[in-house]
């Protein structure tokens, strides 16, 4: 009798459990674009395990080839499906391998035969609501050791993978526009003018702070931009200087410059400045970063306010574009196998 009662209670408990879990509403996994626009990375390249192998044994006359495989992951939010070409960035950039003696190692991309990889051809769409992880792709390099030129028993180079890619940062915080900031009459306002702190926007360059100041004739925004990705930011149009074997090298004037594509409230472009190049005051220009941080002041004149006398909120869209350079390295050992077992008369370090 007791057993029967126990079984009944247990069955009831089970049914209850099924009902509770079965009827609970499914969690909405769809994230908004604002939820996606987080993170401090853009394109992240990493060497795949054992490609290249840690030690490469080579022999005179043998096919001394090896593979170098890199995994690319777009951990940022550029480009979005409506950006670029079919959601892929046009003229994204290139990935180069360097750090080795070209007399000894020959490296070429498998597909193109070029000593670099064109990232534009890779499926590296940015994180989006439909692909919250971002695009992933691989680069295959075919390596060959030229043993005739290897006159030592052991050579220990470090392969340095440098990716230089075009990237965008978009920040759209809500700002408060108060047409009557010095009003003496106490009226209820929907918002008040305050500084806004931002963390990051799913890109290696982030808008970290907007300090707002409402004046009688204009509203002024000091926009602070920071390099949060751990790499180097390069001025657009200096992509070719990333090539480690190229004829020109990056100099100080090419780095730490971010292009402010636009700063708009509503659809009204703001006048910003001071810019590092060209017109000091403009709607578009280069922002110089000092120690990884820079700022620019943008202003909205009273004439461009909305047709209202009371304070209102509006999104301030800040769009930055730049070339970002990151590196990753992998140490390898190339060991030359000698025919004989006789010591000496060959050499090692």
List interacting residues with other proteins (CB under 8 A): 98-104, 148-158, 160, 162, 232, 244-252, 254-255, 325, 327, 329, 341-349
- Tell me how far, at minimum, the Cβ of 77 lies from other proteins, in Å: 25
Contacts of 288 (CB under 8 A, 6+ apart): 256, 257, 276, 294
- Tell me how far, at minimum, the Cβ of 162 lies from other proteins, in Å: 8
Q: Which two tokens stand for residue 9?
A: 């209670």
343/70 Cα distance (integer angstroms):
38
Q: Which is nearer to other proteins, 26 or 61 (CB)?
A: 61
CB 176 within 8 A of CB 212: yes
In this structure, the strands spanning 105-109 and 136-145 are: antiparallel
Q: Which is nearer to other proteins, 82 or 251 (CB)?
A: 251
Q: Which is nearer to other proteins, 60 or 174 (CB)?
A: 60
Sort residue 8 into left (φ over 0), alpha (ψ -120 to 50) or beta.
Answer: alpha
In this structure, the strands spanning 105-109 and 174-177 are: unpaired
Q: Which is nearer to other proteins, 58 or 210 (CB)?
A: 58
Contacts of 215 (CB under 8 A, 6+ apart): 181
Q: Which is nearer to other proteins, 96 or 221 (CB)?
A: 96
In this structure, the strands spanning 312-331 and 285-288 are: unpaired
- Tell me how far, at minimum, the Cβ of 254 lies from other proteins, in Å: 8
Phi/psi for 46 (5° steps) reads -145, 145
Q: Which is nearer to other proteins, 198 or 255 (CB)?
A: 255
Distances (CA, A) of 105 to 160, 204, 300: 13, 32, 57
- Tell me how far, at minimum, the Cβ of 48 lies from other proteins, in Å: 20
- Tell me how far, at minimum, the Cβ of 283 lies from other proteins, in Å: 29
- Tell me how far, at minimum, the Cβ of 141 lies from other proteins, in Å: 16
Q: Which is nearer to other proteins, 107 or 316 (CB)?
A: 107
Nearest to 193 by CA among 35, 316, 320: 316
- Tell me how far, at minimum, the Cβ of 27 lies from other proteins, in Å: 42
Q: Which two tokens stand for residue 98?
A: 């360097």
Nearest to 311 by CA among 231, 194, 232, 202: 194
């Amino acid at each position: 009798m007791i057993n029967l009662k126990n079984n009944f209670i247990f069955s009831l408990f089970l049914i209850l459990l099924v009902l509770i879990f079965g009827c609970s509403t499914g969690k909405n996994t769809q994230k908004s674009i604002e939820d996606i626009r987080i993170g401090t990375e853009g394109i992240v390249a990493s060497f795949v395990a054992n490609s290249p192998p840690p030690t490469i044994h080579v022999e005179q006359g043998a096919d001394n080839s090896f593979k170098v495989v890199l995994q690319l992951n777009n951990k940022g939010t550029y480009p979005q499906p409506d950006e670029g070409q079919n959601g892929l960035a046009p003229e994204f950039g290139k990935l180069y391998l360097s750090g080795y003696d070209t007399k000894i190692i020959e490296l070429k991309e498998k597909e193109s035969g070029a000593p670099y990889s064109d990232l534009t051809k890779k499926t590296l769409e940015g994180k989006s609501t439909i692909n919250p992880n971002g695009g992933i792709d691989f680069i295959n390099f075919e390596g060959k050791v030229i043993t005739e030129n290897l006159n030592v028993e052991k050579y220990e180079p470090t392969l340095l993978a440098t990716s230089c890619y075009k990237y965008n940062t978009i920040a759209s915080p809500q700002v408060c526009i108060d047409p009557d900031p010095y009003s003496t009459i106490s009226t209820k306002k929907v918002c008040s003018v305050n500084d806004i702190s931002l963390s990051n926007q799913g890109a290696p360059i982030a808008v970290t702070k907007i300090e707002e100041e409402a004046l009688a004739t204009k509203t002024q925004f000091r926009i602070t931009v920071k390099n949060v990705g751990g790499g180097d930011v390069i001025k657009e149009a200096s992509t070719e200087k990333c090539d480690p074997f190229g004829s020109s090298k990056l100099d100080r004037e090419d780095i730490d410059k971010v292009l402010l594509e636009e700063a708009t409230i509503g659809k009204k472009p703001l006048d910003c400045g001071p810019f590092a190049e060209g017109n000091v005051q403009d709607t578009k220009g280069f922002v110089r970063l000092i120690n990884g941080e820079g700022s620019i002041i943008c202003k909205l004149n009273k004439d461009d306010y909305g047709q209202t006398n009371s304070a209102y909120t509006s999104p301030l869209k800040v769009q930055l574009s730049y070339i970002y350079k990151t590196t990753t390295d992998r140490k390898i050992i190339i060991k030359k196998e000698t025919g004989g077992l006789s010591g000496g008369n060959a050499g090692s370090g």
